[in-house]
A and B are shown apart, each in its own frame.
Chain A
Amino acid sequence: MRVVVVDDDEDVREATVMLLEVLGHEASGHGVPEEGLRAAAGADVVLQDLHIPGMMIEEQLQRMGALPHPPGVVLFSASIDVHSLHRIPGAAAVLPKPFTTEALEAALARAAAGRS
């Protein structure tokens, strides 16, 4: 599937893109939320980091949801409080960092299945 990774941490972003490609997906990484949003227009799933300076996560998700073909969104975060992520509307799955390949695939599948 086509996956867009939006994360301001370059190491995490590039590593995740590499892993997605190894797993057979078409992936691109973006450090700026605006660019991620543009790329999301053609994506099946977006892996969206929770905390990026200057970004309001609710607004970012709202704008993704308003796209003509909204992608499924996986929120991923290194914050321990992943339970609070369930309260943010617009995310199909949450993925704590660091994650295993199995957890990543499961989150992608859930987000892709939830697309309308």
Chain B
Amino acid sequence: MEVVRLLPDVLFRCHKAADGKIYWTLNEGGLAEAFGLTTEQIRGKSLDELFPGGASEPVRAHFEAAFQGSTETFVNEMDGRYFKHFPQPVFGPDGQVEEVVGYITDVTELVQAEQELARVNKDLEAFAYRVSHDLRTPLAAVATLGDVLASQEGLDASGQEAARRLLKATERMDALINDVLAFSRAGVRPQREGTDLAVLAKDIRGELRLQSDHQIHLDAPDTLVVDADPALMRIVMANLLGNSGKYARPGHDVHVWLREENGTIVVEDDGIGFGDQDPGAAFHVFTRMRNAAGQEGCGIGLSTVQRIIEGHGGTIEASERPGGGACFRFTVGP
């Protein structure tokens, strides 16, 4: 026992008596001493006696589960501190749980750091949302005044060209604000539900048709459901399809194929592909691939896609499609 007492945490051992209550037979380590709950001090006490006044309620179900054979860990809070329990049932010859041994460690700092991280992420998202709104408002005035200028009678050719370029630049700025906002949102924890990528892709293709110079022909199954965050997957599909439109072969429509191969989602097109460049480089923030002269965008789209996919616990890779074009393969985690 002397060695166990050197542990900063707690080793415990408990069993269920004939009266159905859980009794401790061992509780040793730095934490046990700090709380005055060493083996000598708790001998013969049940769970309810150890945590009087209903304090045992939050942990009771977890201990009962451990006595049913569960090894699931759990965290409880006591006096503002958080403790993680690692229970391990010990089975007797009859296959019944004879006792539960385990380990308890103080995870207060970890829990507090997680809470802080969640709060900062939330603040950051709210900040990005606010900034995008406040950037877009004066931009709206600029764009509208550009429309007013473009509509003036008697405007000469260079005036018309200036108004056209002004409007084009405001469109780029608007797209840029959307991209930055999407990138900041990509860091949020996914809210998973059944999400139909085929339906999303068809939707997005319809929206892109209004903006893109190139026709996008989409070849997708009727349905392709994955367990993922629908709002985030919309950003993923919009970026992938948008890229297919941007990196089409000059003067040609582009074909996009969406399908599933053994749990991996494949999106590929017959555009210009990556040429002699490393396809993986496309995921780096602010990298714009060559051959994209005159194309809109800031190189943030695929980094956003990667952040979202990795936030889902999945992976994404880019490669050259055999026969020419870009190919993306991704998973969205378990």
Contact = CB atoms under 8 A, between A and B. Distances in A.
Chain B, interface size category, equals 20 to 34
Interface residues of A, number: 19
- If over half of B's interface residues share one DSSP class (helix, strand or loop), that class is named, otherwise mixed; here it is helix
Contacts of B178: 80
A98 interface: yes
B136 interface: yes
Interface in A1-31: 9, 11-12, 14-16, 18-19, 22-23
Interface string A77-102: 01110000000000000000111110
Contacts, number: 66
A78 B144 contact: no
Interface of A: 9, 11-12, 14-16, 18-19, 22-23, 51, 78-80, 97-101
29 contacts: A9-B138, A9-B141, A12-B138, A12-B140, A12-B141, A12-B144, A15-B140, A16-B144, A18-B144, A18-B148, A19-B144, A19-B147, A19-B151, A22-B147, A22-B148, A78-B132, A78-B133, A78-B134, A78-B137, A78-B139, A79-B133, A97-B139, A97-B140, A98-B140, A98-B142, A98-B174, A99-B143, A99-B144, A100-B143
Given A19-B147, A78-B134, A98-B143, 20 more contacts: A9-B137, A9-B141, A11-B141, A12-B140, A15-B140, A15-B141, A15-B145, A19-B144, A19-B145, A19-B151, A22-B151, A78-B136, A78-B137, A78-B139, A80-B132, A98-B139, A98-B142, A99-B144, A100-B143, A101-B151
